[in-house]
Amino acid sequence: MLTRIARPGGPARLVAMVLVLGSMVPAANAETVAELFERVHRSVVVIRSVETAVPAEEGQGPGVSTIGSGVLISADGKILTAAHLVHAASEITVEFWDGQRAPARVLSSAPGADIALLRVEAVPPSAVAARLADSDAARIGDRVFIIGAPYGVSHTLTVGHLSGRHRPGQTTAGLGHAEFLQTDAAINKGNSGGPMFNMAGEVLGIVSHFISKSGGFEGLGFAVAANVARELVLERGAPWHGIDGLFLSDDLVRILNLPGPGVLVQRVVPDSTGARLGLRGGFVKATIGERAIILGGDVILKAQGVPIGEGHRLREQLRRVGPGDTLSVTVMRAGRLQELSTVLPQP
């Protein structure tokens, strides 16, 4: 059939067609999605966590149980997941692909970017650590796939494309400290914290959330870019103090009659730095506008003597505080200012 289209000017057209057809044929060594799944799925884990209970609810049980996903990134047990799954958790269990379970603890957490790093002491010999991609190299239109536990159904695969990139502050979920990668690969409850892979089998992002008017997936899913995860919790080691806090500014500062911006302590995880500081969480659930919050807890106004509103200077000051150093905060409690401090323990 190729000879039939050869006519005056035909040889050039024939060569062009051959080149186009050749570009549509996958490279001989390219892996199929099925092959990639077989290679990387043993790095994917299920995360089960129990949030610290609000004191007024303590008689109703230990707290709220949550299920999500994560990905093993090192042979010594480091796991990336979403911060909203574990940041206020009093108990975390990791379930590997073969059903083995192990307790985990938070090493680092950046709630403003919805990324956290866990550690388990024992990793099954059959588990495989995944590699992180250079997310800056990803392009809109690239194929991606997600493995996770939607509604608790573990190791479920969905496939799609990278459909957008969003610089810090551009998403609508109140997460202002991260670049998010948008995808049309299906994401549902339980996928949070799981890996979004590129077609090299590398972790391109960590699933965070989706936007929906119906409650189900509508093609707008978001993952924290791998380079953000690498920087915040692997290189910088964003500290985890066991505090579920809400940053208060503008309208909320006026509504709560505060002298300036602060962090409302909603929950404090037992045996955490926040607990050792003596911080108190809230005890009354309320809704302000469309936001559900827990009121009644301490409001942190300063840390290391730096006002909470001075974000850049505060972050620089807190980076200098390490094991053996004293961490101090100024809080508003029952209308009065109080100073709290503790010495950070050795790891």
270-280 confidence digits (pLDDT tens): 989 999 999 99
Among the listed ranges 33-37, 163-167, 213-217, 318-322, which one has the minimum average pLDDT value?
213-217
The pLDDT tens digits for 101-132 are 999 999 999 988 899 999 999 999 999 999 99
In Å, how far from its chain's centre is CA 116?
6
Q: What is the average per-residue pLDDT within 243-256?
A: 87
The pLDDT tens digits for 38-81 are 999 999 999 999 987 776 554 445 567 899 999 999 999 999 99
**pLDDT surpasses 90 at 26:** no
How many other C-beta atoms lie within 10 A of the C-beta of residue 142? 15
Higher pLDDT, 24 or 217: 217
Higher pLDDT, 111 or 214: 111
Position 161, amino acid? H
Sign of CA dihedral 222, 225, 228, 230: positive
d(CA 249, CA 152) in angstroms, rounded, equals 36
**pLDDT surpasses 70 at 304:** yes
Which band of pLDDT confidence, cut at 50, 70 and 90, is reported for residue 202?
Answer: very high
d(CA 342, CA 328) in angstroms, rounded, equals 7
Tell me whether residue 209 is one of the annotated catalytic residues: no
Q: Give the single-character DSSP code of 68.
A: E
- pLDDT of 176: 56
Higher pLDDT, 291 or 301: 301
Which band of pLDDT confidence, cut at 50, 70 and 90, is reported for residue 1?
Answer: very low
Closest CA to 94 of 85, 6, 286: 85
Are 78 and 127 in contact by the 8 Å Cβ rule? The answer is no
d(CA 192, CA 71) in angstroms, rounded, equals 11
- pLDDT of 347: 66
Q: Which of 108, 114, 135, 154 is catalytic?
A: 114
Are 339 and 330 in contact by the 8 Å Cβ rule? The answer is yes
d(CA 2, CA 311) in angstroms, rounded, equals 66
- pLDDT of 170: 54
Q: Which of 84, 87, 209, 241 is catalytic?
A: 84
**Mean pLDDT across the chain:** 86
Which band of pLDDT confidence, cut at 50, 70 and 90, is reported for residue 92?
Answer: very high
Which residue in this structure is represented by tokens 């049309």? 184
d(CA 179, CA 59) in angstroms, rounded, equals 40
Sign of CA dihedral 157, 161, 166, 171: negative
How many other C-beta atoms lie within 10 A of the C-beta of residue 163? 17
Which band of pLDDT confidence, cut at 50, 70 and 90, is reported for residue 233?
Answer: very high
Q: Which of 108, 135, 154, 192 is catalytic?
A: 192
Which residue in this structure is represented by tokens 């590129």? 198
- pLDDT of 171: 54
Across-strand partners of 265? 245
Tell me whether residue 84 is one of the annotated catalytic residues: yes
pTM over 0.75: yes
Closest CA to 64 of 46, 51, 47, 55: 51
Which band of pLDDT confidence, cut at 50, 70 and 90, is reported for residue 21?
Answer: very low
Burial (CB count within 10 angstroms: exposed 0-12, middle 13-18, buried 19+), residue 121: exposed
- pLDDT of 177: 65
- The domains located in the chain, with CATH, are 28-239 (2.40.10.120), 243-343 (2.30.42.10)
- pLDDT of 8: 42
d(CA 77, CA 89) in angstroms, rounded, equals 19
Position 271, amino acid? D
Which residues have CB under 8 Å from 49's CB, separation 6+?
Answer: 65, 66, 67, 68, 85, 86, 89, 91, 92, 93
Tell me whether residue 341 is one of the annotated catalytic residues: no
Q: 262: which 2 tokens?
A: 């602060």
Q: What percent of the chain has pLDDT over 90?
A: 61
**Phi, psi dihedral angles at 90 (to 5 degrees):** -90, -15
Enumerate the H helices of 270-332 as residue ranges.
Answer: 273-277, 311-319
Are 160 and 186 in contact by the 8 Å Cβ rule? The answer is yes
How many other C-beta atoms lie within 10 A of the C-beta of residue 258? 16
Q: 109: which 2 tokens?
A: 């957490």
**Phi, psi dihedral angles at 186 (to 5 degrees):** -60, 130
Which band of pLDDT confidence, cut at 50, 70 and 90, is reported for residue 20?
Answer: very low
